[in-house]
Amino acid sequence: MLLTARYVLPIAAPHIEHGAVLVHGDSIVEIGEADRLKQLHPDEPVTDFGLAALMPGFIDAHTHLEYTAMRGLVDDVPYSRWKLQLLQKERLFSEQDWEDSAQLGALEALQSGITTIADITASGASFRAAVMSGLRGVVYREVATMEKPKVAEVMRRATEDVESWRSATGAERIVAGIAPHAPYSCHPELFRAVAGFAADGTPVAMHLAGSREEYQFVKYGSSMLATDVRDTFDSHAPLWLPTGVSPVRYVLQWDILDAPNVLAVHCTQIDDADIEVLASRDVAVAHCPRCNAKLGMGTAPLAKLFAAGVRVGLGTDSPAASNSMDEFEEMRIGLLVQRALLGEERFVPARQFVKMATLDSARALGIEDRVGSLEPGKQADIIAVDLSESHQVPTHYPYSTLVHTANQENVLWTMVAGEVLYQRHSWSRLDPQRLYSRAEELRMKLRG
């Protein structure tokens, strides 16, 4: 199969105008100028996308598919109040509700050009939705308890789930990991238990230093996380004693950052000493600019993280927080926030954010040997993005067009491992009409 378009963006190399990608089976075989590859492979069927960009699929470095049906449910409130209200609403969901909500998220991910997700799930619905839809993913089983006597049982159930995911039929594209939720919801012994379990390289993800409220809670024992949210999340937990240190310095004491494959989500409330800790332990960061801005959480100090050599990927977070799984919006808002903060001192180019949404996210997850760029031998996880709409032409520079004008509706085609999973409002493995009907049912249920 020969795929051609006006622009081919390998990401790890300069873009090719009037380029082509040769795919055999689940892998990329060759990349180059379209005319040359057509001459070399005259018998290959050709799919031409015209004025479009062929590029590696987006790698969503942090999301929660199972919360998709809660998009827009809790808006216009800061993080702690958002968390409290969400905890109360999610009690209304049945097991099947979580399953359908996660499938709705998978539907959107594929339409948005996302081919790999890094998803944290407590129910396991995100794992099953990823397998059903054909998505690639690193799916983390979430664990949380502030009660020390419960740690062993929480870990037992989680490790059983991780092992079952690893052996599940059809889960070849999924890597299973584990996720201690956050410093305000995990007993220190839970961090230690996760670190021990993940010593073999099992991926670990955790929400860390994500909001001012979390920082105030960990260091000073104050904020809504110490009262209302905490009572709802783990009402029998012992009283919290202020630590006097930042969230990063706090979890450092409990071995979790010494696990070999750790992804820290958000990291908006970190200083130079925290960045040194993350860099020295090769902890990657998932940056979610829309969620951070919308919930008043702050923003990650990208320039300092880059300078320290920290691997940083781009995530959309939960649709309950950011409302959509749109990596184009994530790139655009992320770039604009950084330019507004840093000015001419460190003017971030559009190409850097396209790289963050693809190859850098792959590096953050430790899967860059398979995905994240268009290179011979890598998996054929490829998307085609239309650049021909009235708000896009003329296209002078494809990276700028992708970041400043494109959106999820411009995705024409999504392929994972050589399998076309989405093409012009048609999904090969999912039933959109059933899921849209279920979404309306879930909306009414959540209003109760």
Classify residue 443: in a domain, yes or no.
no
Check residue 229 and give its pLDDT: 65
Query: What residues contact residue 426 under an 8 Å CB cut-off, 6+ apart?
Result: none
Check residue 234 and give its pLDDT: 64
Q: Cα separation of 115 and 432, whole Å?
A: 18
What is the distance of C-alpha 111 from the center of its chain?
Answer: 15
Give the domain-ending residue among 365, 387, 408: 365
Q: Cα separation of 74 and 84, whole Å?
A: 10
Which domain, by its residues, includes 406? 2-56+379-432
Supply the DSSP symbol for 186.
Answer: B
Classify residue 127: in a domain, yes or no.
yes
| Domain match, 350 and 389 both | no
| Domain match, 186 and 241 both | yes
Classify residue 445: in a domain, yes or no.
no
For residue 285, pLDDT over 70 is answered with: yes
H or E stretch covering 377: none
pLDDT band at 239 (very low <50, low <70, confident <90, very high): confident
| Domain match, 344 and 309 both | yes
Check residue 254 and give its pLDDT: 96
| Domain match, 183 and 275 both | yes
| Domain match, 279 and 401 both | no
C-alpha angle 432/319/425, rounded to 5°?
A: 25
| Domain match, 275 and 138 both | yes
| Domain match, 42 and 87 both | no
Tell whether the torsion through CA atoms of 59, 330, 53 and 309 is positive or negative. negative
For residue 92, pLDDT over 80 is answered with: yes
Query: Do the beta carbons of residue 146 and residue 234 sit within 8 Å?
Result: yes
Give the domain-ending residue among 326, 341, 365: 365
Mean pLDDT, all residues of the chain: 95
> CA nearest 321: which of 82, 80, 58, 108?
82
Looking at 53-57, 313-317, 343-347, 400-404, which range is the least confident one?
343-347
Check residue 257 and give its pLDDT: 98
| Domain match, 23 and 62 both | no
Classify residue 344: in a domain, yes or no.
yes
Q: Is the pTM of this model over 0.85?
A: yes
Check residue 230 and give its pLDDT: 66
CATH code: domain of residue 97:
3.20.20.140
Residue type, 129: A
For residue 131, pLDDT over 70 is answered with: yes
Looking at 94-108, 323-337, 343-357, 422-436, which range is the least confident one?
343-357
pLDDT in tens, 310-329: 999 999 999 999 999 999 99
Classify residue 79: in a domain, yes or no.
yes
**Ordered alpha helix ranges (H), 150-299:** 151-166, 188-197, 212-220, 228-233, 247-252, 272-280, 289-294
Supply the DSSP symbol for 124.
Answer: S
Classify residue 373: in a domain, yes or no.
no
| Domain match, 38 and 75 both | no
Cis ω for the linkage preceding 45 (within 30 of 0): no
For residue 448, pLDDT over 80 is answered with: no
| Domain match, 228 and 347 both | yes
For residue 233, pLDDT over 70 is answered with: no
Whose structure tokens read 């050599």?
Answer: 309
Classify residue 75: in a domain, yes or no.
yes
pLDDT in tens, 201-227: 999 999 999 999 999 999 998 777 766
User: What share of the chain in percent tops pLDDT 90?
Assistant: 89
> CA nearest 315: which of 120, 41, 46?
120
Give the number of domains in the chain: 2
**Ordered alpha helix ranges (H), 91-150:** 95-111, 125-133
CATH code: domain of residue 18:
2.30.40.10
Supply the DSSP symbol for 242.
Answer: P
Q: Cα separation of 75 and 290, whole Å?
A: 13
Looking at 171-185, 239-253, 361-375, which range is the least confident one?
239-253
Classify residue 386: in a domain, yes or no.
yes
| Domain match, 337 and 414 both | no
Whose structure tokens read 């010494």?
Answer: 258
pLDDT band at 66 (very low <50, low <70, confident <90, very high): very high
| Domain match, 236 and 285 both | yes
> CA nearest 334: which of 264, 402, 246?
402
